[in-house]
């Protein structure tokens, strides 16, 4: 006995049909882009695909290699690739063996005639992106380094895959401008079968047809006008769009580009480059009644000709629809991380380091004081000079001088330090400290995969105390905060001054401090420890301005029973985000700190 599947409701069926249409349309555009790259690899240069799953990325790569034919090979470009691996440099082993400089072929030279794969393109360092952009422009690798002068042909198709998920991750602008297509594959299912309907015979016929495709003059003008209307200032974009329209016509077996070809090409090329904010189009006016037909024998030549701007409007509208669909898909289909990925919190800027982080190269320096010796770079620097140097005594193979020494360079994200500054005065001090303790424990419980630490400053009586120096240890937090002092006056100015001092200390350590205040803003102890509300209020404002001048993120929780004007004024003086919090709630504090400061 088999059970029949329950029929879907009309709403769910409509949703499934819409998803399948979007899936088919997005994959169809990606497949067409790959076909055009195989048809005109040197004119269109390459494509950028955003949000592609590993399965779809692999399918696009293999399909392009097959369509290019001639044994086109795939070459993968690691994000952390060094200059000598990318454009070529000194082959150290061969140089030492031959006694003269011997060149090593770089990745871009080996990719000549094939496909260059750039995964995680949004994380590509600026120097590597600039090298790649220059080679895409000129079609050759040209470099002079390590006593060598290298020049070789490097013509390849570039497939870049990007998935900008973290704040600040963007594709290098120069690279995106040099590749014809920018397409989103958000929401495209990797599980559906993707048959290849483009045969080798069709592609060969299109290559033969391509030189004979005619371009109407008004089409060129419309493509340029549409680019200007969309805020695109690069002249590469209209050139790519025209080439794509020619390729679409050739694949369809046509001798002339049609409006539909131009519209489809503009979606492929212009949508990712559009710089204008699109608004919903106004509703169309009601159609006017048809005039009476006074002459049934009117010639076609006497009919009114279409407005020359109509094609431009058609192209702009097609791009507007495509951009709107991409934005909607991005909102509805958030990126799903793999199990191996860890969500990285906001951890400040990238900073150089001598000892830890990601390796970014080498520089001249003394390993005794400037960092760790880079042996290979040191030998590469010394190798070209061996013929004119005296060989050292003791049978050494190579002569190395102090000027040859190179030390390793590293770069890492600065650690985020959340500094809690808590009002521990008065009768409700224990509640506030317990709230701060709970928020700190909640933050630290999920920070083992993040570069974050916390500190706690409590102000009471005549001054402020650092109760917990910056730490990432949850065990230390629980032990140190088990018994916290409370009660007494409110030296708000001293608390702000202590926070500013700790911010300066952490900045000197190349960390990214974030300050969180829990106070009612009602200071009654001046900075020098003397009582008096007026003096205390003025000192607090002065210290708040000094904290603002440090230009670090600040979050101020007003813990008064009702929102206090004085607390809001102090938060404004220090440039903080103001949040009223009349009821102690450690979960809300932790959540707001995470969403407003760290993520």
The DSSP string of 275-322 is: -SPP-PPPPPPPPPPPPP---TT--GGGSPPPPTHHHHHHHHHHHHHH
Among 227-236, 299-308, 314-323, 363-372, the range with the most confident prediction by mean pLDDT is 227-236
Residues 6+ apart with CB under 8 A from 116: 46, 75, 77, 107, 108, 132, 156, 157, 158, 159
Average pLDDT of 242-247? 94
Most confident of 392-406, 474-488, 530-544: 530-544
Sheet strands (E) in 354-440: 358-364, 406-413, 416-423
- Using a pLDDT cut of 90, give the percent of the chain over it: 25
Residue 80 DSSP SS3: coil
With the C-alpha atoms ordered 217, 176, 57, 204, is the resulting torsion angle positive or negative?
positive
H/E element holding 331? helix 309-332
Taking Cα atoms as reference points, which of 317, 309, 314 lies closest to residue 281?
317
pLDDT of residue 19: 65
Average pLDDT, the chain: 78
Q: Which residue has the tokens 């509208």?
A: 317
523 or 12: which leads in pLDDT = 523
Across the range 215-242, mean pLDDT stands at 90
Question: Please, which pLDDT band fits residue 486 given cuts at 50, 70 and 90?
Answer: low
pLDDT per residue as tens digits for the range 71-92: 789 999 988 787 878 888 777 6
The answer, yes or no, to whether residue 462 has pLDDT greater than 80, is: yes
Decide if pLDDT at 287 tops 80: no
φ, ψ of residue 416 to 5 degrees: the values are -85, 130
Domain 13-186 has CATH 3.40.50.261: no
Which of 108-122, 515-529, 551-565, 583-597 is the least confident region?
583-597
Q: Which of residues 163 and 204 earns the better pLDDT score?
A: 204
Q: Are 246 and 209 in contact (CB under 8 A)?
A: no
Residue 299: pLDDT band (50, 70, 90) is very low
**Angle in degrees, CA 442, 447, 448, rounded to 5:** 130
Bridge-based pairing of strands 512-519 and 406-413 is: unpaired
Same fold flag, 13-186 and 416-598:
yes
> Do 363 and 389 touch, CB atoms closer than 8 A?
no
Residue pair 526/564 in contact (Cβ under 8 Å)? The answer is no
The phi, psi pair for 598, rounded to 5°, reads -95, -45
pLDDT at 343 over 50: no
Span 440-444, mean pLDDT? 71
Which position has the higher pLDDT, 192 or 45?
45
198-278+308-331 under CATH 2.40.30.10, yes or no: no
Quote the CA–CA distance of 53 and 46 in Å, as a whole number.
19
Query: Domain 416-598's class?
Result: alpha beta
pLDDT of residue 3: 44
Token pair in block for residue 17 = 């049909």
Cβ of 554: how many Cβ atoms within 10 Å? Answer: 26
Which range, 161-170, 278-287, 343-352, has the best average confidence (pLDDT)? 161-170
Q: How many other C-beta atoms are found inside a 10 Å radius of the C-beta of residue 372?
A: 14
Give percent of the chain with pLDDT exceeding 70. 74
Domain boundaries, the chain: 13-186, 198-278+308-331, 358-411, 416-598
pLDDT at 242: 94
Residue 447 pLDDT grade (very low, low, confident, very high; cuts 50, 70, 90): low
Q: Are 281 and 305 in contact (CB under 8 A)?
A: no
The CA distance from 268 to 158, in Å, is 16
Average pLDDT in the 5-32 region? 72
Closest CA to 515 of 495, 529, 538: 495
The dihedral built from the CA positions of residue 412, 413, 418 and 419, taken in this order, carries a sign that is positive
Tokens at residue 328, please?
A: 């909607």
> CA dihedral defined by 139, 144, 148, 153, rounded to 10 degrees?
0
Copy the structure tokens of residue 152.
């070789």
Q: Which pLDDT value is given to residue 132?
A: 92
In contact, 459 and 425? CB cutoff 8 Å:
yes
Asked if residue 46 lies in contact with residue 180, where contact means CB atoms within 8 angstroms, the answer is yes
Q: How confident is the model at residue 280 (pLDDT cuts 50, 70, 90)?
A: very low
Q: Mean pLDDT throughout 198-223?
A: 91
The 10s digit of each residue's pLDDT in 548-579 is: 999 888 989 888 778 888 888 999 999 998 98
Name the residue with higher pLDDT: 509 or 49.
49
Whole-number pLDDT of residue 103:
76
Q: What is the pLDDT of residues 360-381, one digit of tens each?
A: 677 788 777 777 788 777 877 7
User: Which tokens go with 154?
Assistant: 């490097």
Q: What is the pLDDT of residue 273?
A: 87
Rg for the chain (alpha carbons), in Å?
A: 32
The secondary structure of 17-67, three-state, reads HHHHHHHHHHHHHHHHHHHHHHHCHHHHCEEEEECCCHHHHHHHHHHHHHH
Q: Which of 456, 465, 467, 453 is nearest to 511 (CA)?
A: 453
Highest mean pLDDT among 81-85, 407-411, 522-526: 522-526
* CA 243 distance to own-chain centroid: 29
Between 306 and 442, the more confident residue is 442
184 phi and psi angles, rounded to 5 deg: -105, 135
- From first CA to last CA, the distance across the chain in angstroms is 54
Average pLDDT over residues 38-57: 91
Query: Where is pLDDT greater, at 254 or 375?
Result: 254
Give the mean model confidence (pLDDT) for residues 45-70. Answer: 89
pLDDT digits (tens, 9 = 90+) for 189-206: 887 888 888 888 999 999
- Average pLDDT on 519-542 reads 89
315-335 tens-digit pLDDT = 888 888 777 766 655 555 444
Buried/exposed code over 107-125 (b: 16+ C-beta within 10 A; e: otherwise): bbbbbbbbbbbbbebbbbb
Alpha-carbon distance of 534 to 531, in angstroms, equals 9
DSSP letters spanning 544-580: HHHHHHTT--EEEEE-SSS--HHHHHHHHHTTPEEEE
Q: How does residue 469 score in pLDDT terms, banded at 50, 70 and 90?
A: confident
Looking at the DSSP assignment, which residues form a beta bridge with residue 419? Answer: 455, 515
Residues with Cβ within 8 Å of residue 1, at least 6 apart in sequence: none
Q: What is the pLDDT of residue 257?
A: 92
What is the token pair recorded at 369?
């004081």
* Nearest partner of 449 among 337, 324, 559, judged by Cα: 337
């Amino acid at each position: 006995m088999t059970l029949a599947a329950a029929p879907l409701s009309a709403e769910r069926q409509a949703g499934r049909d819409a998803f399948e249409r979007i899936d088919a349309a997005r994959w169809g555009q990606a497949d067409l882009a790959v076909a055009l790259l195989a048809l005109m690899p040197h004119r269109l240069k390459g494509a950028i695909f955003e949000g592609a799953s590993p399965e779809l990325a692999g399918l696009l790569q293999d399909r392009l290699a097959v369509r290019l034919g001639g044994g086109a090979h795939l070459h993968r470009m690691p994000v952390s690739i060094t200059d000598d691996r990318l454009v070529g440099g000194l082959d150290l082993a061969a140089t030492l063996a031959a006694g003269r400089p011997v060149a090593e072929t770089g990745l871009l030279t080996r990719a000549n005639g094939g496909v260059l794969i750039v995964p995680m393109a949004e994380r590509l360092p600026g120097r590597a992106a600039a090298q790649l952009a220059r080679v895409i422009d000129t079609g050759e690798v040209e470099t002079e380094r390590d006593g060598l002068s290298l020049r070789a042909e490097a013509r390849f198709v570039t497939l870049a895959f990007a998935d900008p998920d973290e704040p600040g991750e963007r594709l290098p602008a120069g690279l995106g401008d040099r590749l014809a297509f920018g397409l989103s594959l958000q929401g495209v299912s990797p599980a559906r079968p993707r048959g290849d309907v483009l045969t080798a015979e069709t592609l060969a016929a299109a290559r033969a047809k391509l030189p004979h495709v005619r371009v109407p003059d008004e089409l060129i003008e419309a493509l340029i006008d549409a680019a200007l209307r969309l805020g695109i200032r690069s002249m590469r974009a209209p050139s790519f769009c025209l080439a794509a329209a020619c390729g679409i016509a050739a694949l369809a077996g046509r001798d002339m580009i049609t409006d539909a070809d131009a519209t489809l090409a503009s979606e492929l090329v212009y949508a990712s480059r559009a710089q204008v904010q699109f608004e919903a189009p106004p509703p169309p006016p009601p159609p006017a009644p048809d005039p009476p037909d006074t002459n049934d024998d009117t010639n076609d030549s006497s009919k009114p000709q279409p407005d020359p701007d109509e094609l431009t409007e058609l192209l702009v509208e097609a791009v507007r629809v495509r951009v709107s669909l991409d934005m909607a898909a991005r909102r509805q289909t958030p990126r799903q991380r793999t199990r191996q990925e860890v969500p990285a919190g906001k951890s400040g800027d990238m900073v150089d380091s001598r000892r830890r982080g990601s390796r970014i190269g080498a520089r001249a320096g003394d390993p005794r004081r400037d960092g760790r010796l880079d042996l290979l770079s040191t030998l590469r620097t010394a190798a070209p000079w061996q013929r004119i140097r005296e060989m050292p005594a003791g049978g050494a193979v190579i002569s190395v001088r102090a000027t040859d020494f190179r030390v390793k360079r590293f770069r890492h994200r600065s650690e985020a330090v959340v500094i809690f500054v808590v009002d521990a005065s008065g009768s409700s001090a224990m509640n506030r400290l317990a709230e701060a303790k709970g928020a700190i424990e909640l933050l630290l419980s999920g920070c083992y995969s993040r570069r974050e630490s916390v500190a706690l400053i409590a102000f009471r009586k005549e001054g402020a105390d650092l109760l917990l120096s910056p730490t990432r240890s949850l065990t230390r937090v629980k032990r140190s905060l088990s018994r916290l002092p409370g009660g007494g006056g409110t030296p708000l100015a001293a608390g702000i001054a202590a926070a500013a001092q700790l911010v300066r200390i952490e900045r000197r350590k190349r960390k990214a401090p974030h300050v969180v205040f829990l106070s009612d803003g009602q200071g009654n102890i001046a900075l020098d420890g003397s009582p008096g509300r007026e003096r205390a209020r003025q000192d607090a404002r002065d210290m708040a301005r000094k904290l603002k001048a440090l230009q670090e993120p600040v979050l101020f929780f007003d813990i008064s029973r009702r929102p206090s004007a004085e607390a809001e004024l102090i938060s404004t003086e220090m440039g903080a985000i103001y949040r009223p919090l009349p009821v102690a709630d450690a979960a809300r504090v932790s959540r707001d700190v995470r969403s407003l400061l760290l993520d």
